[in-house]
């Protein structure tokens, strides 16, 4: 019935119907992304905001989507000229460039994860278990100091080998608050010693005790566990990895903050206790929006690529060179829209993120 009904429609009506369906879909998608972009901007209002460099693979994916639009335009021209060979080659290249876009996007997500930037809204600043608030470490008779995300001994950044050795210490203590005690700490008292509020802790009967024999309480053991997790993961004052000001920046109400002596400054003034507490409780909403916006766009690309398999097969079968190119052109309109949408999102995120 459907085929018979479509066969009775004139080519002009068919084209108008298909284009109207595509345009309706484009309007719906535009409204969704307009809502996300607006929410992103509103969320920045009075919040602390993390900005990180844009992943390099995202620029590669931009080149893929731009080139794919060009090859799609040439493919439509080849179809109109009834040149099956060129059509097959060009539409296949378009499809492969689309696959390249998807691969580059996932590589970009991998780069973000390597930097400690995750889709889940982690906090910007380390709060519970922050190094030096309660616990510090003496490693091979030298005190370990934290500055930003750097670990230092004698004022110098520690080597990769030392980092790994210290991370191993953190791994030993990552279950410090379990009920059956801290099992078999290797190297305690010789390679490393923990300090609680500047007092050295002894390790006796699988428990940590103060110089007066008092055991560490449950809440302090929880603090030790989170402290150990930060040590294990090589995390200092920030959840995101890298150097403050170079690999990432923190803003408050569109104003860039400075960091020195383990404190944040707004201009020349150290953050007030109220703002510091607010900063400590602030989640990295910016990165969550980055993932949501780009991944939602990626889903549309993947969906279109699945549909484009049909377009590629029709090209091989020569259906578009028969003069009926409405389906090809409708797919092209949607593909060009997704390309233009990506460029808009890229510029928006570059400016704001």
Considering the domain architecture, whether residues 106 and 149 belong to the same structural domain is answered as: no
pLDDT at 11 over 70: no
Q: At residue 1, does pLDDT exceed 50?
A: no
Judge if 112 and 146 occupy the same domain: no
Within a domain: residue 338?
A: yes
Q: What is the pLDDT of residues 103-162, one digit of tens each?
A: 999 999 999 999 989 988 788 999 889 999 999 999 999 999 999 999 999 999 999 999
- Return the minimum-mean-pLDDT range out of 61-75, 130-144, 230-244, 322-336: 322-336
113 within a domain of the structure (yes/no) = yes
DSSP string, 323-338: T--HHHHHHHHHHHHH
Q: Residues 224, 318: one domain?
A: no
- Total Cβ atoms within 10 A of residue 280: 16
Whether 251 is in a domain gets the answer no
228 falls within a domain: yes
Domain count for the chain: 2
Where does a domain end: 180, 214, 237?
237
Q: Are residues 8 and 101 in the same domain?
A: yes
Q: Residue 205 domain-assigned?
A: yes
| Domain housing 17 | 2-121+285-352
* CA contacts within 13 A on the Cβ side of 223: 19
In a domain, 76, yes or no: yes
Q: Is 331 among the domain residues?
A: yes
Q: What burial letters (b/e) apply to 207-220, b meaning 16+ CB within 10 Å?
A: ebeeeeeeebeeeb
Same domain, 141 and 90: no
User: What pLDDT, in 10s, does the model give residues 257-307?
Assistant: 999 989 999 988 999 999 989 998 888 888 999 999 999 999 999 999 999
Of the pLDDT bands very low, low, confident and very high (cuts 50, 70, 90), residue 10 is low
Final residue in a domain of this structure, among 237, 252, 275: 237
Flag whether pLDDT at 24 surpasses 50. Answer: yes
Among candidates 117, 150, 66, which has minimal Cα distance to 248?
117
User: Which CATH number belongs to the domain containing residue 73 in this structure?
Assistant: 1.20.120.80
């Amino acid at each position: 019935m459907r085929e018979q009904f479509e066969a009775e429609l004139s080519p002009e009506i068919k084209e108008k119907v298909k284009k109207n369906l595509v345009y309706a879909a484009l309007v719906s998608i535009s409204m969704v992304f307009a809502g996300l972009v607006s929410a992103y901007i509103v969320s920045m209002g009075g919040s602390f905001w993390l900005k990180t460099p844009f992943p390099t693979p995202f620029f590669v994916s931009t080149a893929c989507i731009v080139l794919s639009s060009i090859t799609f335009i040439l493919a439509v021209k080849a179809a109109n000229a009834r040149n099956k060979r060129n059509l097959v080659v060009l539409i296949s290249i378009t499809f492969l460039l689309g696959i390249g876009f998807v691969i580059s996007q996932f590589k970009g997500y991998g780069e973000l994860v390597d930097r400690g930037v995750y889709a889940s809204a982690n906090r910007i600043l380390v709060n519970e278990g922050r190094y030096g608030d309660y616990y510090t470490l003496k490693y091979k008779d030298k005190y370990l100091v934290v500055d930003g995300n750097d670990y230092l001994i004698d004022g110098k950044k520690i080597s990769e080998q030392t980092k790994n050795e210290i991370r191993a210490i953190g791994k030993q203590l990552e279950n410090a608050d379990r009920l059956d005690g801290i099992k078999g700490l290797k190297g305690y008292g010789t390679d490393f010693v923990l300090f609680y509020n500047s007092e050295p802790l002894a390790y006796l009967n699988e428990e940590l005790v103060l110089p007066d024999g008092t055991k560490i309480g449950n809440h302090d053991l929880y603090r030790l566990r989170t402290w150990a997790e930060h040590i294990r993961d090589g995390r200092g004052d920030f959840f995101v990895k890298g150097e403050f000001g170079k690999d990432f920046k923190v803003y408050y109400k569109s104003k860039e903050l400075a960091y020195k002596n383990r404190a944040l400054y707004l201009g020349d003034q150290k953050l007030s206790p109220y703002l510091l507490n607010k900063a400590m409780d602030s989640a990295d909403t910016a990165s969550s929006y980055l993932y949501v916006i780009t991944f939602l766009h990626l889903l549309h690309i993947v969906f279109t690529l699945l549909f484009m398999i049909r377009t590629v097969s029709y090209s091989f079968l020569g259906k578009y060179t028969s003069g009926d190119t409405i389906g090809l052109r409708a797919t092209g309109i949607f593909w060009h829209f997704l390309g233009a949408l990506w460029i808009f999102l890229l510029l928006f995120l570059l400016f704001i993120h």
